[in-house]
Structure 1
Amino acid sequence: MTLRTFVRSLWLVLFLLLGVAAIPAGAQEEAAEADPVVVLDQQAAELAAIQKAAEAETTSAEKAELRDRGMVAGSTANMAVAQLVPRLAEIDARIAELGPVLEDEAPDVKAQRERLDAERTDLDSTIKRGRLVAADAKEMIDRMIREINEAFNRDTFKKVASPLSPALWSDVAASLADDLARLRDFVVVSVLGASKAHFGSRLALVAAGLGLALLLLMPVRRGLRQVGRRIAVEQVPGTRARRSALALWFVLVGTFTSALAFLILFQALNWGGFLTRWTRPLAETLSITASIGGFMVSLGAGLLLVGQPSWRLAPLTEETAKRLRPYPGLGAILTFVGVFLIESGKAVGVSEAAAIFLNYVVAFSYSALLAALLITLMRHRRAAAQEAGAEPSAQTTFVTLATLLGWCAVAVALVAALQGYVNFALFLSRQAIWTAIVAAATYLLLIVADDLCTTFLSPESRLGRSLQAGLGLRRTQVGQLGVIASALLRLAILVVAAILLSGPLGPGASSLFYQFGNSAEIQIGGFSIVPGSILKAAVVLFVGIALMRAVRHWLNERYLPATDLDPGARNSVSTIVSYAGILLAGFWALSTLGIGVERIALVVSALSVGIGFGLQAITQNFVSGLILLAERPVKIGDTVRLGTDEGEVRRISVRSTEIQIADRSTLIVPNSELITKSIRNMTMANPLGRIQIGFSAPLDVDVAAVRRALLDILAAHETILEDPAPSVFIDGIEDGKVAFKAFAFVASPRTVYSTRSAIYFTLLERFKAEEIKLVVA
């Protein structure tokens, strides 16, 4: 792994994350139109050339190139085989139409059968040869990856003299004179040794290129930013998309003006003849690094937006944004200086001791920058927490975890460097910086993607209204479409970010896993487990559960609220998705351990008897929970009565159901109780609540006045529904008393008790005022 690979990878992520990478589809279309047999012959020859080149001594970069060529050869061979398989099936169908071979078969049928058999034999042989080419390509790819990993591990974990030992400094001092001589020769021959012919015109070309670069970096960049801000303020509606689009515009403008400026300067030096074959690769690397620095500065400015708190995407205070403003620039400068020192040392050809010393300087500088950034974040997070006094949220927990990992990376890098593992310290510090860049860019793109999708695909937008009118979609369906589009786009961004985090700095984590993967296997009851697989399975399980929780959070907070589903249905969907995600994560982790599904089924079948007897109640509740979630006889928000307990259903899981009763306590009921026993659901078919008012009056009472007063009281109460209308009846005449019954309805059974009490209060006051007497039954 070289620093040039690191820089080129940074340049690659700049285009991938900002969506300007072009897809080379022309070559694929051309390969699809070619004859598959010819394509297989070409790929077989290509694979033979790759295998021959692999036998020679190659560097890691050359091995990576051979790996990429092998991938292309294998995928092309698979495509060709996929085109030949339908032909083979067609020939088989034609042979089947001829029927079985007969002794007195007609000559033309016999000739056709022989021709088809010959074609089938040739085609089957070609398909097998193509599959063999693909298999050989895969074997070659695995071999190259294995050798790259081995070289990465060998270089990364190479131990050199520690900066705490006198050996390093004595070697640097001993080779200092020779290194200075090499540097002087490099400057004289490679830098000052350019042709002096037409020096004035060539210098004018470089001056013009420098002036154009400065023009792009200063007035053009500032002008484009002002134009974007003016358009956003004056012409764009005040939505979330305006804020995120302006931040993205700032990043794009800063990035591409910087990249174009440094490209122009490099080309001016090259066309002016000031670059030699020794300095041209160094200048190219430095121009790319400077462009990446422009991207880092623009990304920091777009996220922080110092002085514009209302437009800021990140949840930062103005004071925190001011404190963080210098770090993108410092990171860009430090990255450029680090690349310059290491690549210049390689170009000059300094001694090994000097190269180690330069690596130490860069590694310690990266670690110091990361430590300063983490200290600044910790101070302001502590101050913000003390000022707000709020409980930690999931977001703050994630930030805390990221900060802890950052401190671990800094500590491990420093300890490794002091122990003499400078290459590992350099790799770890670069990986931390790379992770910060990708995380910041991903954060920006996630917000932009969500804001743009939910804004342009909202029911109130022009596109949303067009979809409603043209496709007959409902408003909620348009909102769901925006949420789903946002989720898919953000998922694609996260996938690209994950690929970029694992790939650009060399084999990275995969190489570390490969170290454990070479360990001896452990046999446990017929299972072969590699220690490295245990680590992979743990990571896979963690990632699977984290993905499940993210999907559930998205369902609960974004998608399901945009649907027409009631809270009970939302809970059912969310719960089922959660448990399905846990099962999939478990199977994924077990397969990573090398335990196949068939072995899992064998173990489950062996334990089925014990599960049936020992866990019968749990199994019964689990199945009952699935029935509740599917049939939904009881759902979230229902008012139910079990025996003497009445309350509202708060939560339904696969084992139990939580019901909040009148005294605000929670009744936990096993799901089997809700399936196998009688339960009264007072809001299942009709959510209305019925109020019954009963009292008795003397026989000589004015029944019309009583009826009129009671209907007035019921009609005047705000919670009593007009439909069904309240009604008053005489329930009976007995023992010199008239028994009255009144019925009314409210919107929910939960308000029955309080409404009935309020009506009784009003009834007694009015009857007293109208001198209507009541008698005790």
Structure 2
Amino acid sequence: MIARLARALCLTLALLVVVAAGPGFAEDAPDYKAWEKQAAAVQEAIGAAKISDEKLSDLRAEMVKWRNTFTEAQGTNADQIATVKGQIAALGPAPAEGASEDPAIAKRRAELTETLSTLQAPDLAASEASSRADGLIRTIDKIVRERQADKLLRLSPSPLNPINWTAGASLIRWMGAWIYDETIWRFTRPINWETLRNNAPLIAVLLVIAGVLVLRGSRWLSGIAGWAVKKTAMRGYRLILGIVSLGEILLPVVGAVMLTTAAINTAFFGPILTQFIEMAPGLFFVILLSWWIGRRIFPAQVEGRAGFGLSDQARAEGRFHALLMGVAVALQQLLTEWITPRAQDFLGGSGTLAADKAAEVAARADAAIAVLAAPLLVFAALMLFRMGQLLRRGATHGGATDQDTAFRDSLMRWLGSAAIAVAVVAPALGAIGYVSAADALLWPAIVTLGVLGLVTILQGFIAEFYIVITRSDESRREALVPVLAGFVLTLAALPVLALVWGARPEDLLELWTRFRAGFSMGGVQISPAVFLTFAVIFAAGYTATRLMQAALKNSILPKTTIDKGGQNAIVSGVGYVGIFAAAVLAISAAGIDLSSLAIVAGALSVGIGFGLQNIVQNFVSGIILLIERPISEGDWIEVGGQQGVVRAISVRSTIIETFDRTDVIVPNADLVSGQVTNWTRGNKMGRLILPVGVAYGSDTRRVEQILLEIAQGHPLVMLSPEPFVLFTTFGADSLNFEIRAILSDVNFKARVLSEMNHTIAARFAAEGIEIPFAQRDIWLRNPEALGRARPNPASPVAPHAPAAPPEPPAHAGQPLTPEERLLLSDNDGAEDGDAR
């Protein structure tokens, strides 16, 4: 597993080098004779059934080199080919069949066509050879994948069978005896003691430094971290502690490397133990890394959502299981890379064996490895099962309060369930005898949890660093930059996870090659280089456009006599033209031939015409608004029953801020095709009409004079044209007048109206002019009927005796007093009266 992770890191570096190097160009033409010979040999080799995986890998590497050479050669004579094609196009279209053209032109066309064929020959040959190399590579990959599948499904001896236990015991016994004999023999050699005396100073220094680093390094780092936290703002203390905690891994590993160097320099250990000693620092690093990840994921002291909301006991259990899973991975690595390669030697001796004896020894070695791997498999499965339970518990106790937290809890729950499933299935497969399948399922699952934990920790470091740099609070931990950093880290971890789960480095390199080659869309080859060129050119053009807009808006246009609406229209127009020009320039620089996309664009235009017709209509309307400028930013308009001030005119819509301070988004098409009232277009002057009513009997000429004085005295009323007062109507309750005046700024119409009303009320009160209120008089047509209907409470009469008719009031046929109106309002016989 360590070797696989190392290969993953090396592959990542190789991909970076390939990206930085970019596509190259072959200086010399490929040697096609050598290629034909090599291709025939590879074709013959892959047809053999017993070719080894290592040989297949070497052959594949050779084919990849040839394919790269041919790919680079495909651009040969590109400039000359383009020139000749232009010359042929300049001659005009070729004559139709049976037609003739000028002999000179026909001769020249034939010469250019022959030249074009000669120039295109190397490119065609390179394309054909590249296609053949690619086919051989695919064949090799298919063979390797089939072998991997066969190995994965191979049935090994079951570790539950007691017969196989003796093979495991024999392997341990013979391995121990072999190492013991080899070590004792080396201790008896005088030359080894001489080597020890010569290397004694170096060994002593290494042992002292290693002991200090392993035993005291962590404590020193903790002291340094505490001192740094005291000297640093509290905002960055977690970042300091996290960085310093890395030393708790590095210093002991450096000490382990020194111990290994010291042990090797003693010359007392044979090849078997020497390999184990060389592997020890890597195994120690895996254990320390697991311990460190467990401490960061399940910290002893929690802040915020750290620790997944688990209790102290659950987090301590999580740290313990993380450490044990690291120990299990280290032991698996030891079993895979140290014991398994020598199992047949230990069980059968190092000499050459007969075919039947070799097969027997191989079967015993397979059984022994299965027996030794079974306890380790069960142990790791138990740790993984318990870790899955902790993840599920953390997802349950996380307390999702928002969508992002709910997604994380769902992801943790899924990971926990997957871990539990793997922990149950893997030991069952191993017990049956599918040891390879069990190993391919269990150990990658454990390493995957470690990689995801490492990504989470690194994303936390980046978030903490972002908070320190921007001097933000803890709420910015979920800002865009840290989230994007976590996304990038996750993408970077995908190749590592692919290698962990059994993908070959060649597979990833092949995938990257396919990605670099791009894909064809409508006859246009889209590749990362094309996309990068387009993005860079467009970004540069977009930035230049925005800079030009800013210069026009802030520096140039304010110094001209163009009104604000015209300035905004110019700035917006420059933005549209600049972005369009940047897109066209980027497409041309990327080498995308738009003519090949004409058919695709024509087919899409039908759908666009139906599905996006409203958007297109609004876009065109926005262009019309910017060109004709019937409205501009800052105008007071009325459209669709809404009044407000235009705040922004965008491509699709216009934003109007109403006087209630709410934003109304109006599609541009409504402003172009609908009826719009613009109160401030051209100038801000507007008319004010103020109705006033006075009581009957008032002096109309005096009222007119007072109203005219009030209008002329207001500072916002224009004197040219001068205001005037109209005596409009004889109303039902009042004599109605109107003040009609032109205001210099119609935006203050409501305020002027209020101020004039206050002044009118004060002047009328001072002049004794009454402002009437609405009056209604009630006339009784037959008051005697009302008198008969009302009984006299002072003189009761017999129940059936007719009441004497009351005397009619003296004012019969005259308006009633207010007291009489109140009395009659309680009478149910109002239907006998007539109100008007």
Q: TM-score, normalised by structure 2?
A: 0.53
**1:311-363 Cα shifts (integer Å, max 9, x gaps):** x9888789586664445433322221232344454145163233224444344
1:176–1:455 CA distance, 2 compared to 1 (3 A): closer
**1:82-130 Cα shifts (integer Å, max 9, x gaps):** 5x5469769989x99xx9xxxxxxxxxxxxx9xxx99x97x98776665
Q: Distance between the aligned counterparts of 2:652 and 2:157, measured in 1?
A: 61
For 1:124-203, list aligned pairs within 5 A. 131=127, 134-160=130-156, 168-189=160-181, 194=186, 196-197=188-189, 198-199=192-193, 201=197
Does 2:5 align with 1:10? yes
**1:27-86 Cα shifts (integer Å, max 9, x gaps):** x89x9899535888888887777667756645545544544454344324534665x546
Alignment counterpart, residue 366 of structure 2, candidates 344, 349, 352: 352
Does 2:450 align with 1:437? yes
Q: Distance between the aligned counterparts of 2:380 and 2:151, measured in 1?
A: 20
Q: Distance between the aligned counterparts of 2:82 and 2:25, measured in 1?
A: 20
Q: Distance between the aligned counterparts of 1:627 and 1:171, measured in 2?
A: 85
**Secondary structure, aligned partner of 1:154:** helix
Q: Distance between the aligned counterparts of 1:768 and 1:417, measured in 2?
A: 99
Q: Distance between the aligned counterparts of 1:36 and 1:88, measured in 2?
A: 17
**Secondary structure, aligned partner of 2:167:** helix
Alignment counterpart, residue 212 of structure 2, candidates 198, 210, 215: 215
| Kept in 2: contact 1:77–1:130 (CA 8 A) | yes
TM-fit CA distance, 1:502: 1.6
TM-fit CA distance, 1:497: 1.8
| Kept in 2: contact 1:697–1:739 (CA 8 A) | no
Larger mean CA deviation between 372-381 and 45-54 belongs to 45-54
Over aligned residues, Cα RMSD in angstroms?
Answer: 6.9
TM-fit CA distance, 1:500: 1.8
| Kept in 2: contact 1:217–1:258 (CA 8 A) | yes
Q: Which amino acid aligns with 1:182?
A: W
**1:526-555 Cα shifts (integer Å, max 9, x gaps):** xxxxxxxxxxxxxxxxxxxxxxxxxxxxxx
Aligned to 1:537: none
1:253–1:136 CA distance, 2 compared to 1 (3 A): farther
Aligned to 1:546: none
Aligned to 1:545: none
**Secondary structure, aligned partner of 1:147:** helix
Larger mean CA deviation between 52-61 and 696-705 belongs to 696-705
| Kept in 1: contact 2:168–2:371 (CA 8 A) | no
Number of aligned residue pairs: give it: 614
Aligned to 2:286: 292
1:293–1:73 CA distance, 2 compared to 1 (3 A): farther
TM-fit CA distance, 1:147: 2.2
Alignment counterpart, residue 266 of structure 1, candidates 260, 267, 278: 260
Q: Which amino acid aligns with 1:411?
A: A
**1:552-575 Cα shifts (integer Å, max 9, x gaps):** xxxxxxx9xx99999xx9xx99xx
Alignment counterpart, residue 396 of structure 1, candidates 380, 394, 406: 406
**1:637-668 Cα shifts (integer Å, max 9, x gaps):** x999874578999xx99999999999999999
Q: Distance between the aligned counterparts of 2:491 and 2:391, measured in 1?
A: 27
Q: Which amino acid aligns with 2:247?
A: V
1:207–1:252 CA distance, 2 compared to 1 (3 A): same
**Secondary structure, aligned partner of 1:503:** helix
Q: Distance between the aligned counterparts of 1:22 and 1:608, measured in 2?
A: 40
Aligned to 2:524: none
Q: Distance between the aligned counterparts of 1:184 and 1:7, measured in 2?
A: 25
1:179–1:677 CA distance, 2 compared to 1 (3 A): same
1:179–1:448 CA distance, 2 compared to 1 (3 A): closer
| Kept in 2: contact 1:9–1:505 (CA 8 A) | no
| Kept in 2: contact 1:696–1:776 (CA 8 A) | no
Aligned to 1:424: 437
TM-fit CA distance, 1:506: 1.9
Larger mean CA deviation between 438-447 and 224-233 belongs to 224-233
Q: Which amino acid aligns with 1:338?
A: Q
1:620–1:89 CA distance, 2 compared to 1 (3 A): closer
1:295–1:195 CA distance, 2 compared to 1 (3 A): same
Q: Distance between the aligned counterparts of 1:495 and 1:454, measured in 2?
A: 23
1:763–1:733 CA distance, 2 compared to 1 (3 A): closer
Aligned to 1:333: 327
Aligned to 1:383: 397
| Kept in 1: contact 2:256–2:280 (CA 8 A) | no
Q: Distance between the aligned counterparts of 1:12 and 1:766, measured in 2?
A: 93
Q: Distance between the aligned counterparts of 2:219 and 2:211, measured in 1?
A: 12
Q: Distance between the aligned counterparts of 2:388 and 2:126, measured in 1?
A: 54
1:220–1:402 CA distance, 2 compared to 1 (3 A): same
For 1:205-244, list aligned pairs within 5 A. 209-224=206-221, 227=224, 230=227, 234=231, 242=236
Specify which structure has the bigger relative contact order, considering alpha-carbon pairs within 8 angstroms and separated by 6 or more residues.
1
Q: Distance between the aligned counterparts of 1:193 and 1:630, measured in 2?
A: 94
Q: Which amino acid aligns with 1:263?
A: V
1:618–1:431 CA distance, 2 compared to 1 (3 A): same
Q: Distance between the aligned counterparts of 2:439 and 2:636, measured in 1?
A: 63
TM-fit CA distance, 1:411: 1.0
Aligned to 1:529: none
| Kept in 1: contact 2:157–2:366 (CA 8 A) | no
**Secondary structure, aligned partner of 1:168:** coil
Q: TM-score, normalised by structure 1?
A: 0.57
Aligned to 2:805: none
Q: Distance between the aligned counterparts of 2:11 and 2:770, measured in 1?
A: 84
**Secondary structure, aligned partner of 2:161:** helix
Q: Distance between the aligned counterparts of 1:174 and 1:683, measured in 2?
A: 102
Q: Which amino acid aligns with 2:231?
A: E
Q: Which amino acid aligns with 2:448?
A: T
Q: Distance between the aligned counterparts of 1:618 and 1:215, measured in 2?
A: 73
Q: Which amino acid aligns with 1:354?
A: A
Q: Which amino acid aligns with 2:404?
A: A
TM-fit CA distance, 1:192: 5.4
Alignment counterpart, residue 414 of structure 1, candidates 418, 424, 431: 424
Q: Distance between the aligned counterparts of 2:377 and 2:309, measured in 1?
A: 29
**Secondary structure, aligned partner of 2:438:** helix
| Kept in 2: contact 1:293–1:332 (CA 8 A) | yes
**Secondary structure, aligned partner of 2:367:** helix
**Secondary structure, aligned partner of 2:384:** helix
Q: Distance between the aligned counterparts of 1:44 and 1:180, measured in 2?
A: 52
Aligned to 2:778: none
- Gap runs ≥5 in structure 2: 92-110, 344-363, 473-478, 511-542, 551-567, 580-595, 695-702, 728-734, 774-836
Q: Distance between the aligned counterparts of 2:238 and 2:66, measured in 1?
A: 42
Q: Which amino acid aligns with 2:213?
A: L
**1:117-163 Cα shifts (integer Å, max 9, x gaps):** 99x97x9877666555544442333223222222222222334567x
Q: Which amino acid aligns with 2:214?
A: L
- Gap runs ≥5 in structure 1: 1-5, 100-112, 461-482, 515-558, 577-597, 715-723
**1:675-734 Cα shifts (integer Å, max 9, x gaps):** 885276999999x9x9999664763997799889999xx9xxxxxxxxx99xxx977443
Q: Which amino acid aligns with 1:366?
A: A
For 1:16-55, list aligned pairs within 5 A. 23=17, 36-37=28-29
Q: Distance between the aligned counterparts of 1:208 and 1:161, measured in 2?
A: 49
